[in-house]
Structure 1
């Protein structure tokens, strides 16, 4: 305040990104640990509340704002910069700070009539429209969410250029396909807009517009009241590069390199926010404050400096943050893959600690929510639970815990802290975000995962140097659900290690395909034919969306030939699998039951509820016990779900290996305990993302009741919830929360549904127990 400045805003309002959010959307103020330095306020809250605070503070602080001032050109001059507006006006400045984000401007349809009234490129409030015929154009998450929300009160068409919704998240893909199947939304596949025409008021359709589609079958006319085109945005990169700013590569996700003071390669031109790799609002606000202070000769340390200094106290009593960031950058390939600003953000979300020698960091069988980076010292991996002293050492600079993170399966071995051990524990979400956006980090993590899985499962006892030739051949392969990975008669040239997802091996028995084997993430398949030296004898199919790491067979066979003991171990496992295969072939009904279970999504389950219909007496004790344990809201629907033979899969959480509900939780309220249960914390904000993302319909949005339903109290006094009322029948203004099965996590006796079943019909199983369940016919 008081410094000469001008804020150039392209829109007629401030904060366009937040302004374009859906009405009532809850905005998070993350990271929670980071203090806010800006002069204006910012607390988590609704879109409207935040915009009101910012507008009020902008006026109070007398910010010099010019609205409708879209900058189309920035030129470096001797004394500073010349900024050209879309209007033709020019502004001269000594320094320029770019806080333009990465979203760009909404992409239009690019057809005649695209600017007619009632054509919009954003949806603020789906409940604002009722009784209209609305066309949604697009196949991404935003288009799907808009179409499904609008379908509650309108006739909705969705236009997809392709024959599937391949860009959408799994949950949204299931959501739109269900809506289409139920007739709630009509989809025009393989179609694109050709022209939009204004219709006369007396047109037979009674609609103001006509959208003509160019489809596979020819021209299709859709009279409509409104068109909502969700086609993404025009990237900002071309404009940014025109200013002279350089990107490190052509990756669309790449961000420009900036100095610790946010200065780009163009002196005097600064970048903050998402364009600098910091997409969180609070971070961008702090950066704006810091860069202005620096420009005005009042340099300040970054807001995260005290927090990082505290974290680095594991190394030193009075650490130099910049010096330790340099050290960390050199210590680990994962940390070296990030620029300085990304590294600071990464460490803010992580924990740095020095465990005492001999401490168990995690146990075999625990489910993991984090990955560890060894900064100094070493850890030991327990190779044999019966002999705790038998350890495999992992040295400084390496990572561990990645197998559970990538596969979604339990920890494969206990890990013990060694001498002088200093570790960085990285939360699941932070690590997944890094490897999804950073190819270098992903390649390193995948290589370590492959090597560890080989030495753990396929060729135990092999040294790193022996495995190198196999790991060097690794290729990542992706398969859709139900897609064949190989078929009988194919050459046996590869072994597959399952990175995520699950795979079935089946063979033709009589007149039908029978599932003979099931392999979960972290396991491998295809080695039997390789060892036998024959072509493929089975069909390998992705049970769900699956990623495998494909390894060449030749170096694997060469390694076995050089190690007789290792070869004997692999051959013994080979014989066991042959016996299991023969058993399944003699009893094809078991294979049919397995096929049913996988079709119901148990291929990605880690703990699923099954009911043996031969034993179930329909007493509903399982549902009553569930409700009594969870605030009178049952997380189980016994009657719903599919049945095959005597096996019934009720509507209840499967605790997936990679929970769909976790993928887009703004407050990070969904977690997995070491025992495996996926649970929702009280920090849930009721946004409904998890409900939409779950493909199995096991999450509901409801209000917890403090009392059990009572028929007489409800009839006589109208108080309390009505018996049998839907949890969606909540009072107006009540705070909704997501509810789902949590396996009764805090309950020492275990899941109440299983304990309450008087006949033993209810059981909980993981995929590894499928064959045991099938062998006893579900009992």
Structure 2
């Protein structure tokens, strides 16, 4: 097995930042990513525009030049790809981590392709892989998706969008503009307050004029082949329906964290245990980086405020190494 100072699980922006920092500090490393470079960003909607400006998405002070104030998905993919390629980062793509064990102070990471050992492991896996299920009959039908990609697919179809966050609002607007008959099903009394400020007026106006319909304070009771049944304040509503986008958010892989031995808070936030000054968890040599640090508070950490995790972690690893040598 190949041995490294540090194994980085996750090849998103923060995983890449950790790789850059490890290389800069002279630490041997490998980044393991189960999909393409920045897999989560690759799976974002094709036309998605970031809330952050380009300079806030930069890592390692490498300039991110965008034609607009708020860059789009394709620009971000190109930016991070060029960083990986030009810096010749040691990244293994389309390789899934299956198990991580620790014996006598050494981690062993097994994947579907190989195995590796290291003194330190960084988990930078984000939260986009596991959708928050609504747990209703029919959620497993082929017409239901928890991910939205391209509005063209839903043209001339009766589309139900469940949710009121940025992803749900973007999908509703884009699909309506491509000719979908869109109905939003919203658990609360209004569109989410964290919806992008330049998008919020657009959706509110479309709802006000009736171009897009909405059921507030409502939940889905059942999804059928040609219908969706809603529990609304006025009673049960049955709508004709071709497709459902259940865009109700995502969560970290808590089972993976627990399997690693990381302690989680007992409340609904499920915050993982780590030292903010080193990013080290309750497991010696095991670190967290990026969005995954926020547990269910997936809005707490972003690229712009978690890119600092990379130098914090590498400094902590180097300090440990120096203490061991001395």
In 1, Cα distance between the equivalents of 2:135 and 2:315? 43
In 2, Cα distance between the equivalents of 1:250 and 1:118? 34
SS at match of 2:29: coil
Paired residues of 2:279 and 2:312 also in contact (CA < 8 A): no
Question: What is the CA deviation profile of residues 447-487 of structure 1, one whole-angstrom value per residue up to 9, with x for unaligned ones?
Answer: xxxxxxxxxxxxxxxxxxxxxxxxxxxxxxxxxxxxxxxxx
Q: Which has the higher contact order (CA 8 A, sep 6+)?
A: 2
Q: Give the corresponding residue for 2:244.
A: 227
* 1:161 shift after superposition: 4.6
Give TM-score scaled by structure 1 length.
0.31
In 2, Cα distance between the equivalents of 1:176 and 1:280? 24
Q: Give the corresponding residue for 2:210.
A: 183
* 1:63 shift after superposition: 1.9
Q: Give the corresponding residue for 2:10.
A: none
Q: 1:150 to 1:299 in 2, by over 3 A?
A: farther
* 1:212 shift after superposition: 3.2
Match of 1:123 among 148, 156, 178: 148
* 1:154 shift after superposition: 2.2
Q: Give the corresponding residue for 1:54.
A: 80
* 1:284 shift after superposition: 4.0
* 1:97 shift after superposition: 0.5
Question: What is the CA deviation profile of residues 375-404 of structure 1, one whole-angstrom value per residue up to 9, with x for unaligned ones?
Answer: xxxxxxxxxxxxxxxxxxxxxxxxxxxxxx
* 1:230 shift after superposition: 0.5
SS at match of 2:241: strand
SS at match of 1:212: strand
Q: 1:56 to 1:29 in 2, by over 3 A?
A: closer
SS at match of 1:95: strand
Q: 1:232 to 1:282 in 2, by over 3 A?
A: closer
Match of 1:212 among 228, 231, 236: 228
Q: Give the corresponding residue for 2:313.
A: 291
In 2, Cα distance between the equivalents of 1:19 and 1:246? 30
In 2, Cα distance between the equivalents of 1:241 and 1:116? 30
Q: CA RMSD in A?
A: 4.1
Paired residues of 2:33 and 2:91 also in contact (CA < 8 A): no
In 1, Cα distance between the equivalents of 2:266 and 2:103? 27
Paired residues of 1:193 and 1:211 also in contact (CA < 8 A): no
SS at match of 1:13: coil
* 1:150 shift after superposition: 2.7
In 2, Cα distance between the equivalents of 1:223 and 1:247? 40
Match of 2:184 among 153, 158, 165: 158
SS at match of 1:270: strand
In 2, Cα distance between the equivalents of 1:165 and 1:5? 47
Match of 2:37 among 1, 4, 14: 14
In 1, Cα distance between the equivalents of 2:85 and 2:103? 32
Greater C-alpha Rg: 1
- The answer to whether structure 1 residue 194 and structure 2 residue 222 are counterparts is yes
Paired residues of 1:75 and 1:82 also in contact (CA < 8 A): yes
Q: Give the corresponding residue for 2:168.
A: 143
In 1, Cα distance between the equivalents of 2:167 and 2:153? 17
Match of 1:81 among 99, 107, 110: 107
In 1, Cα distance between the equivalents of 2:129 and 2:153? 26
* 1:192 shift after superposition: 0.7
Q: 1:168 to 1:144 in 2, by over 3 A?
A: farther
SS at match of 1:67: coil
Q: Give the corresponding residue for 1:281.
A: 303
SS at match of 2:310: helix
Paired residues of 1:21 and 1:124 also in contact (CA < 8 A): yes
Q: Give the corresponding residue for 1:105.
A: 130
In 1, Cα distance between the equivalents of 2:301 and 2:192? 21
* 1:223 shift after superposition: 3.0
* 1:271 shift after superposition: 1.6
SS at match of 2:64: coil
Paired residues of 1:6 and 1:65 also in contact (CA < 8 A): yes
Q: 1:241 to 1:134 in 2, by over 3 A?
A: same
SS at match of 2:84: helix
* 1:297 shift after superposition: 6.9
Q: 1:542-553 maps to which residues of 2 (within 5 A)?
A: none
Paired residues of 1:42 and 1:282 also in contact (CA < 8 A): no
Paired residues of 1:120 and 1:227 also in contact (CA < 8 A): yes
SS at match of 2:75: helix
In 1, Cα distance between the equivalents of 2:193 and 2:48? 24
Paired residues of 2:138 and 2:222 also in contact (CA < 8 A): no
Paired residues of 1:147 and 1:156 also in contact (CA < 8 A): yes
Structure 2, unpaired ranges of 5+ = 1-22, 295-299
In 2, Cα distance between the equivalents of 1:76 and 1:123? 38
Q: 1:733-752 maps to which residues of 2 (within 5 A)?
A: none
Give TM-score scaled by structure 2 length.
0.65
* 1:168 shift after superposition: 4.5
In 1, Cα distance between the equivalents of 2:113 and 2:140? 23
In 2, Cα distance between the equivalents of 1:110 and 1:212? 14
In 2, Cα distance between the equivalents of 1:283 and 1:157? 35
* 1:267 shift after superposition: 0.8
Q: 1:104-503 maps to which residues of 2 (within 5 A)?
A: 105-111=130-136, 114=139, 117=142, 119-126=144-151, 130-152=155-177, 153-161=179-187, 164-165=189-190, 168=193, 178-188=205-215, 190-197=218-225, 210-215=226-231, 217-218=235-236, 220-224=238-242, 226-237=243-254, 239-246=256-263, 250=267, 252=269, 254=271, 256-258=273-275, 260-276=277-293, 279-281=301-303, 284-289=306-311, 291-292=313-314, 295=317
Q: Give the corresponding residue for 1:43.
A: 64
In 2, Cα distance between the equivalents of 1:103 and 1:251? 18
Q: 1:160 to 1:68 in 2, by over 3 A?
A: farther
Paired residues of 1:247 and 1:255 also in contact (CA < 8 A): yes
Question: What is the CA deviation profile of residues 531-566 of structure 1, one whole-angstrom value per residue up to 9, with x for unaligned ones?
Answer: xxxxxxxxxxxxxxxxxxxxxxxxxxxxxxxxxxxx
